[in-house]
Structure 1
Amino acid sequence: MSDPLLRELDHFVVLEPGQDERILTAAETLLWLAGHVEALGDPPADLADLADPEARAGRLIDTACELELAPGCSIQWFAVRLEPRG
């Protein structure tokens, strides 16, 4: 079950093999993840009932933090809270 606090967070750290970590907004993370889901072609079985890559990405954000793109190659995303500098 999804943690309701995740829905309140506005940023995610995203990790991709061979790239530096990045901090994205929630909207950017959804698009980033939807692009990876779409590139898979056939979605994982637990996402196949959803109509489009954005819906699949939304479910992943709510229920997971990692997606295997190929054997031994995964992407990860983690919700973070950015504190204002003061």
Structure 2
Amino acid sequence: MPDPRLYESDTYVLLEPGLAEQFLSTEEMLEKLQTILEKRQDDLPRDLQKFSLVQDQARYLLETSCELDMEPGQFLQWYVVRLEK
């Protein structure tokens, strides 16, 4: 059975259109998502509309998804990564 610590991580790689990949901590990733979601409150994905707080929207998105539509044909993508064994 694999060690459960293999699946623990607090680092994300963020892929944004036209930018180099970025490595962010969980807190930094949440801040990034909150900043984006604050600007899109009138155009939220359906599953985020049930949350009234931007912080709750960002946390839910981080825990349940790995992609957010930004505009037609462009996506913000993030993935959990483990930087060391």
TM-score interval for Structure 1 and Structure 2 normalised by the shorter chain:
0.7 to 0.9
Over the matched positions of the two proteins, sequence identity in percent amounts to 39
Runs of 4+ with deviation above 3 angstroms: none
What CA deviation, in whole Å up to 9, does each residue of 1:15-71 have, x standing for no partner? 110110000000000000111122223221111111222211111111110000111
User: Residue 60 of structure 1 aligns with which residue?
Assistant: 61
- Pairwise mapping of residues 38-53 of structure 1 onto structure 2 (< 5 A)? 38-42=38-42, 43-53=44-54
TM-score normalised to structure 2 length: 0.83
TM-score normalised to structure 1 length: 0.82
Matched, 1:23 2:23: yes
Residues matched between the structures, number: 79
> Higher Cα Rg: structure 1 or 2?
2
